[in-house]
Amino acid sequence: MDHAADALRTDLMTITRYVLNEQSKHPESRGDFTILLSHIVLGCKFVCSSVNKAGLAKLIGLAGETNVQGEEQKKLDVLSNDVFVKALVSSGRTCILVSEEDEEATFVEPALRGRYCVVFDPLDGSSNIDCGVSIGTIFGVYMVKDFTEPTLDQALQPGKNMVAAGYCMYGSSCTLVLSTGSGVNGFTLDPSLGEFILTHPDIKIPKKGKIYSVNEGNAKNWDGPTAKYVENCKFPKEGSSPKSLRYIGSMVADVHRTLLYGGIFLYPADKKSPSGKLRVLYEVFPMSFLMEQAGGQAFTGKERVKTCFLPVVV
C-alpha cells in the first residue's frame, strides 16, 4: 500500500457512503438496513471509545462497584450491551434482539418495531479486557416476515437465513468487518474524523495458510480425529513444513487474523463441552457467514455450519 498517497487521499469511502452505494443498486430498497447499520456503527464507536478509556475510567471493574464520585460503575460488557440494545431499539428497524448478555430475548415495543432481528455478542473475549488484548462485538442480522407479532422462533433461524453479519474489533485500531451477502469489506475507524473508512475492500481469505489457531490446553479432552488433525499441523508428513500456532482467545481477533492471513481457527467440541464452547447464534453463525463470503469454509466437523444448529468448528 502506498501510505504517502493514502495520506493525501481526499475521496474517502465511509461505511455510510458504501452502504448507500449498495442500497442504490436495489431501487426497491427503503433504506431500512442503512439506518439499522448506522445505529450499529454508533454502538461500535461508543464501545470503542469506552474500551480505549477503560484503564483510565476503571470500567474494567466488577459491575456494581462504585467510582470516586460514588456512582455505580458498569462492567464494560454490561455497558456495551446497554449501548447496543439502546442503539438497536432506537433505530426503529428491529423487532427482536438476542444478546449474549441477556438471558431472555428483547421484544421491541410495537411503536418502534421494524423488520430486522439482530443477534449479537456486545463484547466478546471479555476475559481479555483486563490485560488490554483485542476484543470485539459480533453481530448477525435476520429479516423477520411478520414483525408486528414477533416470536422467538423468528430469532432461532439457521445461519443460512442471515442477511448480514459482521464484527468490530477493538484492537490496535478499531476495525469493522461487514458482509451483506455480496463479499466482505473492512472499515477502519479514523478517530480524527469519527468515521469508519473502507480500508480492506473485498476481503478474500488466502487459499493456503500457514497458521492454525486452537486452545491446545483442551487437547486431553479432544476426540481422535481432532487430536490427529492438530498433530498433523505440528508434525506434517515428510516434505511439508509445520504450521505456526497463534491463539488469542478472543474469537474476533482470531477470526480477523485468519481472514487476512489464512489458515484455520477451531474450537472443537470435547469431553467437557460436547457441543463446543462457542455460542452458535451470535458467534458461530455470523463468523461462518463472513468466512464463506470471503471464500473460506466453516464446518462443524461433520457438516456446513450455516445449515445446522450445533456447530463446533469454524
Question: Is 127 an interacting residue with respect to ligand AFP (CB under 6 A)?
Answer: yes
Binding window for ligand AFP (CB under 6 A); candidates: 66-74, 199-207, 219-227, 244-252? 244-252
d(CA 99, CA 154): 15
DSSP per-residue codes, 92-114:
T-EEEEEETT-SSPEEPPGGGEE
Binding-site member from 130, 249, 297, 302 for ligand AFP (CB under 6 A): 249
Question: Is 134 an interacting residue with respect to ligand AFP (CB under 6 A)?
Answer: no
**What end-to-end distance do the CA atoms of the chain give, in Å?**
30
Which is closer to ligand AFP, CB of 121 or CB of 292? 121
x/- track of binding to ligand AFP for residues 200-219 (CB under 6 A): ---------------x----
Query: Is residue 174 within a helix (H) or strand (E), and if so which, with residue range?
Result: strand 174-179
Beta-carbon count within 10 A of 241 CB: 7
Question: Is 270 an interacting residue with respect to ligand AFP (CB under 6 A)?
Answer: no
Which is closer to ligand AFP, CB of 10 or CB of 172? 172
Report residue 115 as a C-alpha cell.
423488520
Beta-carbon count within 10 A of 210 CB: 14
Binding-site member from 97, 124, 137, 141 for ligand AFP (CB under 6 A): 124
Binding window for ligand AFP (CB under 6 A); candidates: 5-13, 53-61, 195-203, 248-256? 248-256
Binding window for ligand AFP (CB under 6 A); candidates: 36-44, 121-129, 171-179, 219-227? 121-129
189 alpha carbon, distance to own chain's centre: 16
Q: Judge contact between 117 and 145, C-beta under 8 A.
A: no
CB 254, min distance to ligand AFP, A: 6
User: What does the DSSP 8-state code read for residue 17?
Assistant: H
| Binding residue count for ligand AFP, defined by CB under 6 A | 12
Q: Judge contact between 118 and 286, C-beta under 8 A.
A: no
- The residues binding ligand AFP (CB under 6 A) are 124-127, 215, 249-251, 254, 267, 277-278
